[in-house]
């Protein structure tokens, strides 16, 4: 059972916009930064969003992050077939003194 | 930018220990925090702990307290993760990852598969 809660799967068609949600609590998302990682099959995760809503250099602006209260969201617009991957949210948890992940959301591009 | 190269796959028996290395290059090693994350087959990501590459200070997930040790050798810009008392459910790919405070983990090693089987 993950500390951060994500839907197991989401799907969309090419060109569409999808959103992936991440729910936490006051000890993690509610009080610290949220990060998003993309993991393509068989590869290491890649940092997509840092500090709630900032894109590292090289990440397309089709990817955007937001946070409100104890929830966060990753939006992907202009969906492409190579966006098909697992997406994880992560945050520091003050109560646990630990970094925590969501269980991951698998994005299928139909 | 920093590149991280991890040691090769390991096969261990239950009760044994494993030490995975993570060699950094391309940037100043001691300006980073090194975190270790593992992924069991078909499962999600699990954070194990962090280490300040400069001071050597560490913090471990409660689940691994007493069983994991994270160290580094700054002269060869290499971080290590030592996991003892291995069990079959420690079978996973272990990743090292580097980042600076609040910036997230921008740099990842290629992963090291540790298989635990009798």
pLDDT in tens, B15-35: 999 999 999 999 889 999 999
Cα A34 from Cα B38, distance rounded (Å): 19
pLDDT higher than threshold 90 for residue A108:
yes
Are A21 and A73 spatial neighbours (Cβ–Cβ below 8 Å)? Answer: yes
pLDDT higher than threshold 90 for residue B1:
no
Retrieve residue A15's tokens.
């060109």
Instruction: Tell me whether strands A46-49 and A105-109 are parallel, antiparallel or unpaired.
Output: unpaired
Cα A39 from Cα A106, distance rounded (Å): 9
pLDDT tens, position by position, A4-30: 999 999 999 999 999 999 999 999 999
Retrieve residue B81's tokens.
């993760």
Cα B49 from Cα B70, distance rounded (Å): 8
CA proximity to B104, closest of A45, A81, A74, A86: A45
Q: Which residue of B has its CA nearest to A103?
A: B44
Q: What is the DSSP letter of A103?
A: -
pLDDT tens, position by position, B59-113: 999 999 999 999 999 999 999 999 999 999 999 999 999 999 888 999 999 999 9
- Give the pLDDT confidence score for residue A46 in this predicted structure: 97
Retrieve residue B37's tokens.
């994350």
pLDDT interval class at A55 (50, 70, 90): very high
Cα A90 from Cα A99, distance rounded (Å): 7
**With contacts defined as CB-CB under 8 Å, which chain B residues touch A35?**
104-105
Q: Which residue of A has its CA nearest to B106?
A: A47
pLDDT higher than threshold 90 for residue A33:
yes
Cα B83 from Cα B61, distance rounded (Å): 13
DSSP B31-92: GSEEEEEEE-TT--EEEEEEEETTT--EEE-GGGTTTEEEEEEGGGTEEEEEE-S--GGG-E
Shortest distance between the Cα of A22 and any Cα of chain B, in A, equals 14
The mean pLDDT of chain A is 97
Q: Which residue of B has its CA nearest to A8?
A: B44
Across A43-71, average pLDDT: 97
User: Using beta carbons and an 8 Å cutoff, which residues of A are at the interface with B?
Assistant: 2, 33, 35, 37, 39, 44-47, 49-51, 56, 86, 88, 90, 96-104
Retrieve residue A97's tokens.
């003194």
């Amino acid at each position: 059972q993950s500390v951060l809660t994500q839907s197991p799967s989401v799907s969309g068609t090419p060109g569409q916009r999808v959103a992936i949600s991440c729910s936490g609590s006051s000890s993690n998302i509610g009080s610290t930064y949220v990060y998003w990682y993309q993991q393509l099959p068989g590869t290491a995760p890649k940092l997509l969003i840092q500090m709630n809503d900032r894109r590292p250099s090289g990440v397309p602006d089709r990817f955007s992050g937001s946070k409100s209260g104890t929830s966060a969201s990753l939006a992907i617009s202009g969906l492409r077939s190579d966006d098909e991957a697992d997406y994880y949210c992560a945050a520091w948890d003050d109560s646990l003194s630990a970094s925590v992940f969501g269980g991951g959301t698998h994005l299928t591009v139909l | 930018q920093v590149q991280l190269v991890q040691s090769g796959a390991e096969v261990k028996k239950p009760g044994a220990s494993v030490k995975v290395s993570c060699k950094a290059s391309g940037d100043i090693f001691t300006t980073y925090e090194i975190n270790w994350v593992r992924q069991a087959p078909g499962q999600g990501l699990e954070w194990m702990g962090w280490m300040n590459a400069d001071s050597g200070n560490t913090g471990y997930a409660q689940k691994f307290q007493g069983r994991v040790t994270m160290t580094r050798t700054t002269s060869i810009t290499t971080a290590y993760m030592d996991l003892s008392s291995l069990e079959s459910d420690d079978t996973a790919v272990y990743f090292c990852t580097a980042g600076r405070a609040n910036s997230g983990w921008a740099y990842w090693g290629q992963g090291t598969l540790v298989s635990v089987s009798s």
